[in-house]
Every structure is written in structure tokens, then in C-alpha cells.
Amino acid sequence: QFEGRTSVWRYSAALPFEEGVTLPEGGTPLHRVPRLEEEVGVRNLRIKHEGMNPTGSFKDRGMTVGVRVAQELGVDRLACASTGNTSAALAAYGGRAGLETLVLLPAGKVAAGKIAQAALHGARILEVDGNFDACLDRVQDLADRGEAYLLNSLNPFRLEGQKTIGLEILEEFRDDEGRFPDRIVLPVGNAGNTAALYKCFRELVAGGDLAPGDVPKLTGVQAEGAAPMVEAIREGREETRRWEEVETIATAIRIGNPVNAPKALPGIRETGGTAVAVSDDEITDAQRSLAAEGVGVEPASAASVAGLRKLRESGEVDAGEDVVCLTTGHLLKDPDAAAAAGSDPQPVPNDTDAILRHLAGQSVG
Ligand code: F0G
């Protein structure tokens, strides 16, 4: 019955329409990473690589639904604030739909690949003198004044599409005994994805399709320099405190006021999950470990693996667990971070013997 549908729209029964503005999205790989699994020390470790979506991040799953809704509503200008990936997805899907797109970015804090995408897909790009949270305040004002249709994750239709990450994981992941994963570890910025996964699992349980005991523990990871969700979990609060100063190499999650926190915090608590903060060095180490096994991700994505490593070291995650880490964006999104984390090119003369001497460890002269 799903013939010809893309992976997100295969799940149209869980979505507001039968079809969307599609490129197509979803159907991302669930990689095995045996060396990392061994090193981290869990029973099963899989990487759901959302960077393999059409514009290179999980945002495409939400945008295919959100832009379809915008078409239905007949709006003429779509807008978002973004740390980069949402703007790339909005520009591509908005362009596909033939609609005008406007993106507000924190000046100087968006990775090169993402700006390039927004630019080429034809968005009007405004660089705001302020961080992401300020950009979101401004774009909400524009939406309130009727100047644009908001396509940040405050828009519930975005989250409907992102639920399909959870559906795909449950369909694809089975361990040797047919069990669902014990835990899903994901990077958290605005906490939209965490909220979407929680909604996915609640709906499955309500429909009798998933036993309450089989719901994976939602485990959020933030950068130490932008960790209001971790703070709220630690202090047992229902809402986050807004961090005015935020900084991290993982610019995608450089966010101090996660607007979906009221939906995501209960998801972390009620599934028995937790939240943890990781340093920029830990993020870069995890990015290298993933890359060594062929999985290229941007820094924010590597935070999931860095967080899992940390929770294993502290014993909060058990060695017997089956774990899925979400990697949310592709390595090429942030080429500068990737180049800095990797090895430097070595200049050699245009001469085979000199190259062989160089490889043998001698001076090239
Ligand atoms: N990972 C990546 C690569 C992201 O781009 C984002 C969010 C997240 C994780 C966090 O997801 O907000 O649902 O908790 N990026 C947004 C953007 C903010 O504008 O692209 P979340």
C-alpha cells in the first residue's frame, strides 16, 4: 500500500496528509560501528545517520510536512530562525514549492555549508546581530505581525514529520532477541527532535503498537557551553532557564532558550532517560571516532556519541544496553570544523621519488 512513497510518507497514517513537498527524505542508514561499540562498551551500538537526508540533516523530515501545510494555507512567505540546518532545509523545500523563503541567522555563527545551501536554494538571508535565540524572537514577531509563516520547530507540523525518525528506528532496529533499542541518544538544541520522538512513542503506546516497557529511554546531549536542558533535568525543573551567553564548536546546538523544553523534558523523564553535557574536545573526539569508521558527521551530531561515552564512563548507561545514537547532520555542513579535527594536508613536490621518501618518513627537502 506504500508503493512509491518516500520513507517519510510511507508513514502517512501518522501524518496530516498523504503526500508532501518531497525531495525525497527519510530512509537514512542505521550503521553498525563495531570498533566504537567495542570501545564504548555497550551490547549494541547503531548510528542513525540523519545527515544522509537530501539537504544533509534531519530537518528535511519536518520540512516536507511543514511546507506542504504552508501550501494548503496559501501563505506566500516562509520564514525561520536557524543555526543553519533549518535554513538550508527551508530554502530547499520552499524553493521546491515555489514559495518565497526568509531566514534569520546569528551573524558569524553558522557553518559555511549551511549558508551556502540557503544562498543557492534562493532564501533571502538576514544575518542578525545576536544569537539564535534572538533570531527566533525576531522571526516570531514577524509571524505574529502576519509577515511570514513560521517554520521553526515551534510549528507542530515540523515535529509530525520528525516523528518518522522514531518509526524508522523501531522498524529497523532489532537485536538478536528481537528487542527494540533500550535507549536513543540525541543532540539537543531547541529540543524539537526530543519532543517529536516522545510524541511518536506516546502515539504508538496509545495505539497498542508498542508496549510501555519497550519505549526507548530518551537521552539528550548538549554542549557544556549551551546546556539549559541538562541544567533543568539536574535541578528537576519543568522549564529551562534562559542562558544569555552560549558558546560551543557545535554551532547547530548553540542555543540558550530551548523553546520545546516543556514538551521534551517530560519525554526525557518519563522514558527513564537523562541529559548530559559534553565539552567541545569530547565532541571533536567523538567526531573523529565516527569518521574513522566512515561515518562523517558535523560537530553537533557527534555530541550524541560523546554523551553516550560519558554516560558509560559514569555507569549511568549499562554495558548490556542496545543503543541508537542519532547523528543529525552531515560532515560537509561544517567543513571548517571537519578540517580542523582531521589531519593536515602534507605538501610534497611533483616527484614520485620525493613522495616515496616523504612516505618513508624522510624530509622532502
Ligand atoms: N543537530 C543538528 C545538526 C541541528 O541542526 C540541530 C538543530 C540539532 C541537532 C538540535 O535539534 O533543536 O530539535 O533539539 N538545529 C536547528 C537549526 C536549531 O536551526 O538548524 P533540536
| 279 Cα: distance to centroid of ligand 1 (angstroms) | 17
Q: Is 300 close to ligand 1, i.e. is its CB under 6 Å away?
A: yes
Does residue 355 lie within any of the structural domains? no
Q: Is 271 close to ligand 1, i.e. is its CB under 6 Å away?
A: no
Does residue 350 lie within any of the structural domains? no
Is 91 assigned a ligand-binding role in the annotation? no
Give the whole-angstrom CA distance, residue 309 versus residue 10.
Answer: 34
Same domain, 247 and 337: yes
In the prediction, which pLDDT does 362 show? Answer: 67
In the prediction, which pLDDT does 174 show? Answer: 80
Same domain, 201 and 290: yes
Q: Is 192 close to ligand 1, i.e. is its CB under 6 Å away?
A: yes
Q: Is 84 close to ligand 1, i.e. is its CB under 6 Å away?
A: yes
In the prediction, which pLDDT does 189 show? Answer: 98
Is 191 assigned a ligand-binding role in the annotation? yes
Does residue 283 lie within any of the structural domains? yes
Pairing of strands 183-187, 217-223: parallel
Same domain, 322 and 214: yes
CB atoms within 10 A of CB 95: 18
Same domain, 181 and 302: yes
In the prediction, which pLDDT does 146 show? Answer: 96
Q: Which atom of ligand 1 is nearest to the CA of 114?
A: 20
> Which residue is listed with cell 517554520?
151
Q: Is 55 close to ligand 1, i.e. is its CB under 6 Å away?
A: no
Is 300 assigned a ligand-binding role in the annotation? no
| 329 Cα: distance to centroid of ligand 1 (angstroms) | 9
Give the whole-angstrom CA distance, residue 201 versus residue 190.
Answer: 19
In the prediction, which pLDDT does 3 show? Answer: 53
Does residue 52 lie within any of the structural domains? yes
In the prediction, which pLDDT does 1 show? Answer: 40
Same domain, 37 and 122: no
Of 150, 170, 196, the residue that ends a domain is 150
Does residue 354 lie within any of the structural domains? no
Q: Which atom of ligand 1 is nearest to the CA of 80?
A: 19
Q: Is 304 close to ligand 1, i.e. is its CB under 6 Å away?
A: no
Same domain, 265 and 129: no
Going residue by residue through the chain (365 aa), what tens digit of pLDDT does each one get?
445 577 899 999 999 999 999 999 999 999 999 999 999 999 999 999 999 999 999 999 999 999 999 999 999 999 999 999 999 999 999 999 999 999 999 999 999 999 999 999 999 999 999 999 999 999 999 999 999 999 999 999 999 999 999 999 999 998 778 899 999 999 999 999 999 999 999 999 999 999 999 999 999 999 999 999 999 999 999 999 999 999 999 999 999 999 999 999 999 999 999 999 999 999 999 999 999 999 999 999 999 999 999 999 999 999 999 999 999 999 999 999 999 999 999 999 999 999 999 999 865 54
Of 105, 121, 150, the residue that ends a domain is 150
Closest C-alpha to 337, from 277, 291, 274, 269: 291
What residue owns the CA closest to ligand 1's atom 12? 190
Q: Is 57 close to ligand 1, i.e. is its CB under 6 Å away?
A: yes
Is 284 assigned a ligand-binding role in the annotation? no
The tally of domains found in the chain comes to: 2
Same domain, 317 and 274: yes
HEC profile of the chain: CCCCCCCCHHHHHHCCCCCCCCCCCCCCCEEECHHHHHHHCCCEEEEEEHHHCCCCECHHHHHHHHHHHHHHHCCCEEEEECCCHHHHHHHHHHHHHCCEEEEEEECCCCCHHHHHHHHHCCCEEEEECCCHHHHHHHHHHHHHCCCCEECCCCCHHHHHHHHHHHHHHHHHCCCCCCCCCCEEEEECCCCHHHHHHHHHHHHHHHCCCCCHHHCCEEEEEEEHHHCHHHHHHHCCCCCCCCCCCCCCCCHHHCCCCCCCHHHHHHHHHHCCCCEEEECHHHHHHHHHHHHHCCCCECHHHHHHHHHHHHHHHCCCCCCCCEEEEEECEEHHHCHHHHHHHCCCCCCCCCCHHHHHHHHCCCCCC
Does residue 168 lie within any of the structural domains? yes
Q: Is 53 close to ligand 1, i.e. is its CB under 6 Å away?
A: no
Same domain, 141 and 84: yes
What residue owns the CA closest to ligand 1's atom 6? 252
Of 150, 167, 194, the residue that ends a domain is 150
Is 190 assigned a ligand-binding role in the annotation? yes
Checking ipTM against 0.90, whether it exceeds it is yes
Q: Which atom of ligand 1 is nearest to the CA of 82?
A: 19
Q: Is 189 close to ligand 1, i.e. is its CB under 6 Å away?
A: yes
Q: Which atom of ligand 1 is nearest to the CA of 264?
A: 14
User: Hey, which of 139, 154, 197, 253 would you mutate to test ligand 1's pocket, going by the most ligand atoms within 8 Å of its Cβ?
Assistant: 253
Same domain, 65 and 167: no
In the prediction, which pLDDT does 120 show? Answer: 98
| 187 Cα: distance to centroid of ligand 1 (angstroms) | 8
Q: What is the CATH number of the domain that holds 140?
A: 3.40.50.1100
The range of the structural domain enclosing residue 187 comes to 9-56+156-341
Same domain, 167 and 266: yes
Residue 147, C-alpha cell as written in the block: 509577515
Is 189 assigned a ligand-binding role in the annotation? yes
Does residue 346 lie within any of the structural domains? no
Q: Is 85 close to ligand 1, i.e. is its CB under 6 Å away?
A: yes
HEC profile of 119-160: HHCCCEEEEECCCHHHHHHHHHHHHHCCCCEECCCCCHHHHH
User: Hey, which of 47, 48, 53, 57 would you mutate to test ligand 1's pocket, going by the most ligand atoms within 8 Å of its Cβ?
Assistant: 57
Same domain, 49 and 74: no
Does residue 4 lie within any of the structural domains? no
Same domain, 222 and 337: yes
